[in-house]
A and B are shown apart, each in its own frame.
Chain A
Amino acid sequence: MVENKKGYTIFLHTFMIILCVLCLLPFILLIVVSLSSESSLLTEGYSFFPKEFSLAAYEYLFASPTIYKAYGLSILVTAVGTAVSIAVTTLIAYPLSIKELPGRKFFNFIVFFTMLFSGGLVPGYMMWTQTFHIKNTIWAYILPNLIANGFSIMIMRSYFMTNIPKELLESARVDGASEFVTLWKVVLPVSLPIMATIGLMSGMAYWNDWSNGLYYVTDKKLNTVQVFLNNMLMNAQQLDKVSGAGLDMNALPSTAVRMAVAVAGALPLMCVYPFFQKYFVKGMTLGAVKG
């Protein structure tokens, strides 16, 4: 029995370690390739153990202003988008959690219905480009992404309903605090976990967003890191197509540089998220089953 238990423990950890290695290996390959010299990449392909290491890709990358601009724009879009998104979501979720609010059912339905039915890409694209003219502006990154649908509003509403004691709101009201002051001074301080969850999900969506760049941005000066990456991937594919017929490595960023940009795109979030993992996990458990 004891032997059996030990065997099982070994099996369990072996399984988990293999899974973890599978999850990590591609990232390690990416980082190693970005640190390999161009000549070893061309002779022996992408390898975990290149003949020659080199920082040339990063030197090249950080010597050109493109990456700084892209980083700057990504950070700006993520910061502004996330802040506005949290604010708007909180402002609509809080009233919806007040049971006595006249018309609450109606407004709830308006929010909820966006989770069931959507117009899809084509009408949304037409509206944003023809009515709001967001093409090639910074708004293309911020506006379509602000609140995808009622999902985050519903999560926050149910958090308010289950975690804010009614007496707390009552006593604030008796003290003569306005509803805005109550929200700011009474509700928010006890709602930091859900704010972190929603903020993290929204921040991740903004930082990782490449599709709005694909739909709405053609101006190279307005590239975020992810859009920059996406453009390079498309170029890489053209490169792949002509590969037999002699490469022109000068026309495009070299292989290692492309991988270095991918590292630059993935790294910030990978470094930040272990610290927020708690909220991340919490938000998913909150939202995944119950809408």
Chain B
Amino acid sequence: MNNTKTKNLMQKIKRYWPFYIMMLPGLIYLFINNYIPMTGLILAFEKYQVASGIYKSPKCGLDNFKFLFQTKDAWIITRNTLLYNIVFILLGNFLAIVVANFLNEVKRDVTKKVYQTVILLPYIVSIVVVAFLANAFLAGDTGFINNHILIPLGLQPVQFYRETKYWPFILTFVSLWKSVGYSCIIYLASIAGIDPGLYEAAALDGATRWQRFVQITMPCLKSTIITLFILAIGKIFYSDFGLFYQVPMQSGSLFPVTQTIDTYVFYGLTKNNNIGMSAAAGFYQSLVGFVLVLLSNLLVRKASEENAMF
């Protein structure tokens, strides 16, 4: 009995060993790039000293967290990360559904493709280029908005990079502008999959365009919408570092409305040399982010099981 088992195992190894060799480079890479840094999260509980390194610096318990949560920063970065994400998710999905629905009704394939190509352009350029584009409009002295809109209208020019009140709108606009072409693709695929017979039957019954949208398109998109929403909620503790770092051009006076957890961690690590707080904020993000992914997946499984990730 035991003998056949061993023999079986030998046979299996003989048959499958090339597959394990194939996986080796990827597994080694993931181990280095993704798993080793997870152990480095211990940094959040240490008073980091360069000479001692990550794993041998003296422990300090929860001190880093105490300092972090005693400052106003913890509240500000959490609020900004969450609020921006909520607005991006709601408006982004709304716009994506509208655009996907319109794109789907464009009859000529060439026209449809041209539209789609153009609205995808913002998605493929780097956020650094986007920061340049935004700067061309917003710059205080040479910007387009001041020179060619506000001044000709007899209004006072605005120093955009110094005034916080405009930035929630600017960042939301830039985020939607960059992502709408991308996010409507998924909805477009779902809409294209709806049985055209449903629409024909509804049209025969005299249903208006709006009625068809509300009673056919939306119900058919329900599971896609729910899934995308919940997946987005799983990532709600993470922000697009480039958007919040580049587009406001690191202007210090805008920090109350532009700092998110990701930019805070970066500034702590590189500029303010406050590794303890930076590591604590990173740990806070990893942990809460992880819990949110698990929770949101649980919700997906409840809502539509085939769309759950695990």
Contact = CB atoms under 8 A, between A and B. Distances in A.
Interface of A: 8, 12-13, 15-16, 19-20, 22-24, 26-27, 29-30, 33, 41-42, 44-48, 87-89, 91-92, 94-96, 98, 100-102, 107, 110-112, 114-127, 130, 143-144, 146-147, 149-150, 153, 178-180, 183, 204, 207-211, 215, 226, 229-230, 233-234, 236-237, 240, 243, 255, 258-259, 262, 265-266, 269-270, 273-274, 277, 280-281, 284-285, 288-291
Contact of B22 (A153, A183, A236, A291): A183
A96 B16 CA distance: 12
B169 interface: no
A270 B30 CA distance: 31
A289 B26 CA distance: 24
Contact of B132 (A178, A180, A207, A258): A258
A116 B26 CA distance: 18
Given A116-B290, A285-B186, A95 B20 contact: yes
A146 B33 contact: yes
A291 B37 CA distance: 23
B129 A229 contact: yes
Nearest to A181: B18
B53 A291 contact: no
A163 B114 CA distance: 30
Contact of A234 (B129, B250, B310): B250
A88 B26 contact: yes
Interface residues of B, number: 100
A178 B148 contact: no
Contact of A179 (B18, B129, B135, B147): B18
B30 A45 contact: no
B2 interface: no
A147 B129 CA distance: 24
Interface of B: 12, 16, 18-20, 22-23, 25-27, 29-30, 32-41, 43, 53-54, 99, 102-103, 105-106, 113-122, 124-129, 131-137, 139-144, 146-148, 161, 177, 180-182, 185-186, 189, 209, 224, 227-228, 231, 241-242, 246, 249-251, 262, 265-266, 269-270, 275, 278-279, 282-283, 285-286, 289-290, 293-294, 307, 309-310
B144 A240 contact: no
Given A120-B265, A266-B129, A16 B19 contact: no
A23 B278 contact: no
Given A16-B106, A116-B293, A123-B38, A88 B25 contact: yes
Contacts of B231: 289
A15 B180 CA distance: 14
Nearest to A255: B142
